[in-house]
């Protein structure tokens, strides 16, 4: 995964284990809505961090800046809110990092996981949703939930035409795929 750097990589966030298995993330995008159910038993601090950022509106107005059909769509970089900072997209975060919580959930279609740099404990806010079998990432990235609604939206986003990014990887979307909002809601509120 492309790295995620932070302004203070020495600072490690400590999250309380306050995540609730009865909560889901509703990701409203410019292409439609996806709903994620969490795995707090496998990655409690990661889930709590994602929920905290979503509840603050941190992800609102960001975009999926890295798309590789058949592999994943990546978002969660606050720098993507500003088109003038496009050269830096993929490097932004919340200003802290969290400890990895590797677990036995496999990276398959619809699984959400944390993006990170070379250091396993360098994740902050960037995440990716698998668009296929990415089991080669198992036990190296923190999987923390899975798609329960919006498979068609994930596929539509993954089908976005891409060109080369600054490193030459064919993953730069040729049109903006925005994250309008991510809301944490009770699971029974989603039909």
Residues 6+ apart with CB under 8 A from 84: none
Mean pLDDT of 15-22: 50
Residue 98 has pLDDT above 80, yes or no: yes
pLDDT number for residue 12: 33
SS3 per-residue string spanning 134-153: CHHHCCCCCEEEEEEECHHH
pLDDT in tens, 170-181: 999 999 999 999
pTM of this structure: 0.89
Sequence ranges of the domains in the chain: 23-189
What would the pLDDT profile of 78-94 be if each residue is shown by its tens digit? 999 999 999 999 999 99
Is residue 170 classed as helix, strand or coil in its secondary structure? Answer: strand
Quick one: fold of 23-189?
Answer: Cyclophilin (2.40.100)
Give the model's pLDDT for residue 6: 36
Q: How far apart are the first and last CA of the chain?
A: 33
Q: What pLDDT score does 178 carry?
A: 97
SS3 45: helix
Q: What is the pLDDT of residue 21?
A: 64
């Amino acid at each position: 995964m492309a790295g995620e750097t932070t302004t203070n990589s020495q600072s490690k966030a400590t999250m309380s284990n306050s995540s609730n298995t009865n909560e889901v993330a509703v990701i409203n995008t410019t292409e439609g809505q996806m709903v994620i159910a969490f795995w707090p038993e496998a990655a409690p601090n990661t889930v709590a961090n994602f929920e905290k950022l979503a509840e603050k509106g941190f992800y609102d107005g960001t975009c999926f800046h890295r798309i590789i059909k058949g592999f994943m769509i990546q978002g969660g970089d606050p720098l993507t809110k500003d088109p003038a900072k496009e050269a830096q997209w993929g490097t932004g975060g919340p200003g802290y990092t969290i400890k990895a919580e590797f677990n036995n959930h496999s990276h398959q279609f619809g699984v959400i996981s944390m993006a990170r740099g070379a250091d396993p404990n360098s994740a902050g806010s960037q995440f990716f949703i698998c668009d296929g079998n990415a089991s080669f990432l198992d036990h190296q990235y923190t999987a923390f939930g899975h798609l329960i609604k919006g498979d068609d939206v994930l596929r539509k986003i993954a089908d976005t035409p891409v060109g080369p990014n600054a490193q030459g990887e064919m993953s730069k979307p040729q049109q903006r795929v925005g994250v309008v909002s991510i809301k944490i809601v009770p699971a029974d509120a989603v039909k």
